[in-house]
Amino acid sequence: MGPFECAVASWPTQVTRPIVLGPQTVPEVTDETTVARHPALAVLSAIVHSENRRAPDILEVVARGLLSFDPETTKYWFEMVEVGLESTPTRENWRKLMQNVITHFPGHRTLFEEKYLEGKAEGKAEGEARGEAKGVLRVLEVRGLSITDAVRERITTCTDLDRLNDWLDRAGTVERAEDLFAPGTDPTELPKDAP
């Protein structure tokens, strides 16, 4: 088909020559040096030949070749392949080849996006722990209790929300800041006679 010509009166203003991509027009990239020289072609090859019997070999070569780029470029091309593979069975093979990187295609449920969201959840939990620790310290400070560096460090480095909640509850009644850590007062601590 084509070329398609647009014109004003007898003057051509634009000529469009469509290029159709498919298994017959895109080569099977099976050489890492080709991936390094032509990453876009390699990505198209992985996508277009996803139903080919050689798809696993193509994916492996493309993955290894894309690792030759700087991390941000590698991340971009890795996700481009995954998005292009859509819901094909080959997509799962590709996901096994990928590393943890941040998503460039939000909303497509790529492995990178899942890992990114997991990281955000972990960051939220860390933020909650920091907030609880600040609360414990604030209650102790408002009550005028002396807080040693060792106590401050133990509170601020704790990531166990249950323990921090317990300390926050007890911070209003202890006589000394160190009493927060008294044996037998920590609900997450095993009794001395426990196996």
Q: Whole-prediction pTM value? A: 0.48
More confident call, 184 vs 16:
16
pLDDT tens digits for 123-160?
A: 667 778 888 899 899 899 989 999 999 999 999 999 88
The answer, yes or no, to whether residue 170 has pLDDT greater than 70, is: yes
pLDDT tens digits for 83-122?
A: 999 888 888 888 877 754 445 555 666 666 666 566 656 6
pLDDT of residue 48: 92
The answer, yes or no, to whether residue 49 has pLDDT greater than 80, is: yes
| N residues, the chain | 195
The percent of residues in the chain predicted with pLDDT above 90, rounded, is 27
pLDDT of residue 35: 92
pLDDT of residue 1: 67
